[in-house]
Structure 1
């Protein structure tokens, strides 16, 4: 039986352990002898103590015991079982961890912190923003039995104080040396560098360490503009090393926040505490989004006929308008208060003394961010579409703004838009500064700045000359007011934040709220709606005149009643494991604004995903690919122990050298290739996975949906099983909201057959590869030799074609007849030149016909690699890298696929796009084959390449990759091929020609015209023949060299490659120096080294590297994946074959000399 043994994974001693014990959650047989069975952690601890083998498991045990103690205290003082989310926080608190408690209001953050303050017992500090909240916290702490000191610093007490008091008496609180600091609203410490500095002192961060962190932040910013500055990098490395030795002594907890640390001191604090003191911004909402096409507030107040409202006035109207509206509301018989500064208005509203609050529609305004009254606040009314107003002249220092407005007044901006897209964030920042200060820059950025300045002047002159009153773009409006032009940008984020105040969590359910926009500009409302739908897809605005307000009012009331029958919200904590950091960031951003922390130096993103009625608090981490690989330690037969009928594959962590970049799987203090001592290991990632898995309810493993991804999932599950029993495999084929949500809903188990097939393939690759590589190294006395089963046939094709090419060299005459080319071959240059000097050409059209041609299906991996190479000359490795990035950014579906199937979602994308382009009648939906594991490669949205470029311009922080012209070329090709596959056939006209070249007659039939159908989107090549010919004489061969497309096509047709291996096989042969890529046309040419290596392999083991044998083995591996053949059976056969090979190689080495 095939089994996996990890050489490092025991949760107690860190030594070797088999997969069965890991999945049972118990230590290795050395630490805990006996049968494999599931045991409680306390039983395991007792047995380890009894056997005198207790080591690392002690930490896990004590953390669990601390968690249980806090849990029991919680139940005792709160008289309730904590929710799942509160248990998650308690687990982290039990580890003495510093972090932000990320969750929407109403999910028990304050309660958890109060209980923990009581449990902590030692001197602690609880910082709150207001006196009223201070009094509440003090009272609640006293009620649960805590020793509390309000507004006075006392040892061994829970000290509760406001920010203002801390700022005035920070020496007093610094002298306390609290071991626990809780901040209720971290925005207060992020607003200014001074408050941040005070908090740093209270946290026990000495001035030298804090200054070092400030300097590090500054130097990292400088590095963005000087990426090759070695001296700067050395200073950064020195500071990083110095700071890494500092360990925080205080546990720091943040209860709520919305701001991100932007200032230098704020970023320095974030660096030292190890997490961002800001919580997740999510879009949980149960809201009726309404509008009224006027600013008649009186009518709307009379319509809702209820109190409990927040009126937010668009900023450009100012305080006078707020006072005017206050008077209006009071005339209608309600009480109102301005919510501009301070906190008194909040107390009055809470006490029911005020019916309506009136404030500014500003994201940072106290009315938007400071109000949390789920029972009292029911209606949020926007007086005017919430917007940001900018003077046009100031706005036109922004490159993106210049381009968008220029486009709207009829200036062609395609070229400048593409140039801007290719700039890095730091270059864009430099450009903005250059525009604003009118400072000259260098090189290409100065050219762009100069052009944009001219464009800016042209825009201002055009607006003035043509008296244009308004310009509407997709993201803002330009309009004239009092002889000045302004830019109005609808503020979608403020709308979500503010309207969300009417829908909060109480009684374990989400209250129903109402948001009403009094429209002062219908165009701005339209832009706002489009912006909102990119963030909250469910937004749907209804005219208040078209709804039953009585029903709305009743729903609002009932949702706030304790006895209300409503769907209860369930919270659950999840660890989501993906492969790439880009994918981790993309997924985190899909569901709101995530918070970020680091676990053992590994970035972890925390976000909230709503699945039906369950709130998932999700931690997202990337493994960066495989976390283990077959060991190269001196164990068994190349890492595999063979015992009777068992094959035990031994796996090690993966080590990577920072200096030479090579990876290896044998434990070593230095790199075996270059000797460097700077080595990283996946052990750090594994440690982070284990730590996170202890904290959460469930683990979702979302590695790529293929054979390699399944093995990664198995390794992650193996490593985390001792710490979490709820592990699931989720698979998605596109990184979109719907793709992720569907995957979570359909969570399943790991496919063990697919895992075994990957392991067999890896063993086969190791056994054959190491045997062949050893032989090649022995013969040729060079280290960089190697081969594998699939590489052998592919090398053979390139070698044979290279030989044929060289054997048939001569001179080629290229005869260009219009855009059609004819090649004639001659042995000598003299013959070719003589032919040209006597050349006569005559063309006669013989006949013509028309043919209806259907579109090609969307791309599979092989057809994409071939088409990209044929059209653009981009090699397979680059294409795969780019498609990986496009997939991880959520732009295309999974790119390693041999399926042409298109889902219903895909068909609807094509339909919507064609309708938007006025091509509704050209749409024909096609599914292209049966549904399987994968789908064809297609776009995930209706954005064509121009729309994508605009989207990048509009949302510069949306994507986490650096786009190049190749990204756009490949995306454009994928998009157009897919859309074409959903269109009507095209009509093609062919003409048959007789071409007389001297005395030779040649007949050709070529396409000369293509009309309609899919050709509108995906044009086909047509030719125009002409008697006026040109010639070119050059060296050439009757046999063409192989290109990437030819090799990939052969691998596909002969079934010796897979979508995941096409590019890798060719790149490995290049890496070994066996083939090279020609500079001009990227043909693949065998080197002398490659030819000699192939000749040796052909002589000693031709059967082993034959196409048929390779195909047969890969088919068997597929059968293992499908459960039709056992892994043992294939490995036994393979081992026999390798034994024979080994004997052959020994004999060949004896006779193979003089090379």
Structure 2
């Protein structure tokens, strides 16, 4: 009887050593035939032990389990999306890794969402890595300082470049002559708003213009690495270049890990300053107050100061030095509460990280966006997709939705259908959780709420602290907001008045979780290994997350 032929399976691009195809024969031999080294050798990293000691020495902290996982990927030279909730230590890891690379003669570029966080990162970097040559761009620089910055930039006289994402969008062409070994983007949404930004980022890593245009990488090409925070918005088409050239995708994350008590307090008063003051007197020092406009933020500041509450507004028309001074006073406990605006890229929504200082957030009005018939021609294509989704129960819009991103004529057809709803004042096809006020749609912005309230619940020494978020608005708006929030898995507690809230245990809990985090008495966030039966299924499942 003849022997059956031995079948060899080949798994495409899954060799952990060379990144090329992996055969069952190589698996049986535990050896990569391309480089002739054991398959498990890349994971026994001497560099990891060195970085672990460096991180502990420079920051005073041990790497958390999720930071250990990311560190190993970084030290393998991989590019990836850091898929995790806000406050788990991504920025601190980026700072420490940049300092570690600087000791090895490599350059890093740290990109943050705004000037407030830029100052915090600069201070942290200079504290834990004083030997690193930091080059940071600040909007309040004088002319001579800006000229000195660009001179140092062109002469490559730095180890770590630190800017906002807005700076990158404005000056990306000036950066192209540079090649970065490591790029960390702390707010990838802001970068992906402009498709061309992706191309320039790849050029900064060392890809040629031809490679970026074709989406094909030269097999032996050595380039830098990039890791980014998880996206909350839809990445544009150009984000596919990350997959084609660096083998990772910019995943989206639904905020699933947060430790916040969400409280809705209905009020019919348009400007509930007395109710707000009552709430703040019940909360411990260290909170954020969010309004819907900067004018309202100023009014809230004025009214609360008149009631002897320690509060200051952080708004865009303040000089940068004044804004930073107010935030510094807040951090030192000299100001009890800060007031800002609840917009997707507000100064206090994304740009402040104080796990031990920020315990609560109060929203004077639900975060929202309003749309009227006059706005239909000016809204972005991305927001038109979102708006059409709210009318998906309409049969024609439902039919056109899959083609909305591709064709302008489809977008125009959808605009005309939605325009007819406004003209007839017929919103019967509107999805739940959206209000109509004076023939304008009031669309709750739950994503901004999650970002803003997430300032109150952060990772500290690997532990998740407790936060509180209180929302004041009319009963109708709060009902709509709670409906939209449930789509994100966020349940609201409703109290009819501040007197109905049990403030004493809440205050103690907010303070005690921070004490417990300091002592290491809370459970840590850990990465989980998800094992499936085939590489194909693993690849498919990973695409859900990035």
What TM-score, normalized to structure 2? Answer: 0.74
The structure-2 alpha-carbon separation of the partners of 1:363 and 1:248, relative to structure 1 and needing over 3 Å to count, comes to farther
Whether contact under 8 Å (1:188, 1:195) holds in the other structure is no
Whether contact under 8 Å (2:376, 2:415) holds in the other structure is no
The structure-2 alpha-carbon separation of the partners of 1:175 and 1:349, relative to structure 1 and needing over 3 Å to count, comes to same
Q: How many angstroms apart in 2 are the aligned matches of 1:391 and 1:558?
A: 46
Q: How many angstroms apart in 1 are the aligned matches of 2:276 and 2:242?
A: 47
The structure-2 alpha-carbon separation of the partners of 1:363 and 1:459, relative to structure 1 and needing over 3 Å to count, comes to closer
Where relative contact order (Cα < 8 A, 6+ residues apart) is larger, the structure is 2
2:326 counterpart of 1:384: no
Q: How many angstroms apart in 2 are the aligned matches of 1:381 and 1:311?
A: 5
Q: How many angstroms apart in 2 are the aligned matches of 1:504 and 1:369?
A: 13
**1:184 Cα deviation (Å)?**
3.7
Q: Deviations over 1:97-143 (max 9, x none)?
A: 11232323443334433443344313212324345245324414525
2:102 counterpart of 1:127: no
Q: Deviations over 1:966-1009 (max 9, x none)?
A: xxxxxxxxxxxxxxxxxxxxxxxxxxxxxxxxxxxxxxxxxxxx
Whether contact under 8 Å (2:435, 2:477) holds in the other structure is yes
Whether contact under 8 Å (1:122, 1:157) holds in the other structure is no
Q: How many angstroms apart in 1 are the aligned matches of 2:512 and 2:335?
A: 21
Whether contact under 8 Å (1:285, 1:503) holds in the other structure is yes
The equivalent residue for 2:210 is: 208
Q: Deviations over 1:616-639 (max 9, x none)?
A: xxx7xxxxxxxxxxxxxxxxxxxx
The equivalent residue for 1:475 is: 433
**What secondary structure is seen at the aligned counterpart in 1 of 2:487?**
helix
**1:380 Cα deviation (Å)?**
1.2
The equivalent residue for 1:60 is: 40
**1:203 Cα deviation (Å)?**
2.0
**1:158 Cα deviation (Å)?**
2.5
**1:425 Cα deviation (Å)?**
0.5
Q: How many angstroms apart in 2 are the aligned matches of 1:122 and 1:266?
A: 29
The structure-2 alpha-carbon separation of the partners of 1:55 and 1:499, relative to structure 1 and needing over 3 Å to count, comes to closer
Q: 2:305 aligns with which of 322, 330, 334?
A: 330
Q: How many angstroms apart in 2 are the aligned matches of 1:116 and 1:403?
A: 41
Q: Deviations over 1:23-70 (max 9, x none)?
A: xxx964xx5xxxxxxxxxxxx89xx9xxxx996444631442344554
Q: How many angstroms apart in 2 are the aligned matches of 1:385 and 1:168?
A: 32
Q: 1:298 aligns with which of 253, 274, 281?
A: 274
The structure-2 alpha-carbon separation of the partners of 1:422 and 1:545, relative to structure 1 and needing over 3 Å to count, comes to same
2:185 counterpart of 1:189: no
Q: How many angstroms apart in 1 are the aligned matches of 2:295 and 2:234?
A: 33
Q: How many angstroms apart in 2 are the aligned matches of 1:285 and 1:310?
A: 17
2:143 counterpart of 1:162: no
**What secondary structure is seen at the aligned counterpart in 1 of 2:83?**
coil
Q: 1:524 aligns with which of 477, 482, 487?
A: 477
**1:249 Cα deviation (Å)?**
3.1
Whether contact under 8 Å (1:336, 1:357) holds in the other structure is yes
Larger radius of gyration: 1
**What secondary structure is seen at the aligned counterpart in 2 of 1:112?**
helix
Q: How many angstroms apart in 2 are the aligned matches of 1:283 and 1:492?
A: 13
Q: How many angstroms apart in 1 are the aligned matches of 2:414 and 2:174?
A: 46
**What secondary structure is seen at the aligned counterpart in 1 of 2:122?**
helix
Whether contact under 8 Å (2:263, 2:471) holds in the other structure is yes
The structure-2 alpha-carbon separation of the partners of 1:381 and 1:118, relative to structure 1 and needing over 3 Å to count, comes to closer
2:527 counterpart of 1:604: no
The equivalent residue for 1:541 is: 494
**1:328 Cα deviation (Å)?**
0.8
The equivalent residue for 2:506 is: 552
Q: Deviations over 1:459-486 (max 9, x none)?
A: 73467xxxx9x99962312222xxxx21
The equivalent residue for 1:102 is: 83
**1:331 Cα deviation (Å)?**
1.2
The structure-2 alpha-carbon separation of the partners of 1:402 and 1:204, relative to structure 1 and needing over 3 Å to count, comes to closer
- CA RMSD, Structure 1 to Structure 2 (Å): 4.5
Q: 1:356 aligns with which of 337, 358, 371?
A: 337
Whether contact under 8 Å (1:170, 1:202) holds in the other structure is no
Q: Deviations over 1:333-355 (max 9, x none)?
A: 23333333366354443343433
The structure-2 alpha-carbon separation of the partners of 1:62 and 1:323, relative to structure 1 and needing over 3 Å to count, comes to closer
**1:426 Cα deviation (Å)?**
0.8
The equivalent residue for 1:310 is: 288
Q: 1:179 aligns with which of 165, 181, 195?
A: 181
Q: Deviations over 1:554-592 (max 9, x none)?
A: 2212222255685322412323537899x98xxxxxxxx
Whether contact under 8 Å (2:259, 2:457) holds in the other structure is yes
Q: How many angstroms apart in 1 are the aligned matches of 2:429 and 2:22?
A: 66
Q: How many angstroms apart in 2 are the aligned matches of 1:571 and 1:490?
A: 32
Q: How many angstroms apart in 2 are the aligned matches of 1:166 and 1:532?
A: 33
Q: 2:423 aligns with which of 442, 452, 460?
A: 460
Q: How many angstroms apart in 1 are the aligned matches of 2:35 and 2:315?
A: 59
**What secondary structure is seen at the aligned counterpart in 2 of 1:573?**
coil
The structure-2 alpha-carbon separation of the partners of 1:335 and 1:124, relative to structure 1 and needing over 3 Å to count, comes to same
**What secondary structure is seen at the aligned counterpart in 2 of 1:107?**
coil
**What secondary structure is seen at the aligned counterpart in 1 of 2:288?**
strand
The equivalent residue for 1:88 is: 69
Whether contact under 8 Å (1:308, 1:379) holds in the other structure is yes
Whether contact under 8 Å (1:260, 1:276) holds in the other structure is no
Q: Deviations over 1:835-882 (max 9, x none)?
A: xxxxxxxxxxxxxxxxxxxxxxxxxxxxxxxxxxxxxxxxxxxxxxxx
Whether contact under 8 Å (2:264, 2:472) holds in the other structure is yes
* Alignment coverage as a number of residue pairs: 492
The equivalent residue for 1:426 is: 403
Q: 1:283 aligns with which of 246, 256, 267?
A: 256
The equivalent residue for 1:879 is: none
2:175 counterpart of 1:199: no
**1:96 Cα deviation (Å)?**
1.0
Q: How many angstroms apart in 2 are the aligned matches of 1:274 and 1:16?
A: 22
Whether contact under 8 Å (2:453, 2:469) holds in the other structure is yes
Unaligned runs of 5+ in 1: 18-25, 32-43, 214-242, 406-412, 439-451, 585-598, 608-618, 620-1155
The equivalent residue for 1:494 is: 448
The equivalent residue for 1:980 is: none
Q: How many angstroms apart in 1 are the aligned matches of 2:463 and 2:385?
A: 45
The equivalent residue for 2:149 is: none
**What secondary structure is seen at the aligned counterpart in 2 of 1:532?**
helix
Q: 1:136 aligns with which of 123, 146, 161?
A: 123
**What secondary structure is seen at the aligned counterpart in 2 of 1:104?**
coil
The equivalent residue for 1:367 is: 348
**1:391 Cα deviation (Å)?**
0.9
Q: How many angstroms apart in 2 are the aligned matches of 1:539 and 1:325?
A: 24
Q: Deviations over 1:208-241 (max 9, x none)?
A: 333445xxxxxxxxxxxxxxxxxxxxxxxxxxxx
Whether contact under 8 Å (1:189, 1:199) holds in the other structure is no
Q: Deviations over 1:768-797 (max 9, x none)?
A: xxxxxxxxxxxxxxxxxxxxxxxxxxxxxx
**1:283 Cα deviation (Å)?**
2.8
Q: How many angstroms apart in 2 are the aligned matches of 1:169 and 1:460?
A: 44
Q: How many angstroms apart in 1 are the aligned matches of 2:53 and 2:254?
A: 31
Q: How many angstroms apart in 1 are the aligned matches of 2:484 and 2:362?
A: 19
The structure-2 alpha-carbon separation of the partners of 1:495 and 1:193, relative to structure 1 and needing over 3 Å to count, comes to same
The equivalent residue for 2:144 is: none
Q: How many angstroms apart in 1 are the aligned matches of 2:523 and 2:63?
A: 15
Whether contact under 8 Å (2:290, 2:362) holds in the other structure is yes
Whether contact under 8 Å (1:289, 1:514) holds in the other structure is yes
The structure-2 alpha-carbon separation of the partners of 1:479 and 1:251, relative to structure 1 and needing over 3 Å to count, comes to same
**1:290 Cα deviation (Å)?**
1.6
Whether contact under 8 Å (1:124, 1:157) holds in the other structure is yes
Q: How many angstroms apart in 1 are the aligned matches of 2:463 and 2:309?
A: 29
The structure-2 alpha-carbon separation of the partners of 1:394 and 1:178, relative to structure 1 and needing over 3 Å to count, comes to closer
The equivalent residue for 2:3 is: none
**1:327 Cα deviation (Å)?**
0.2
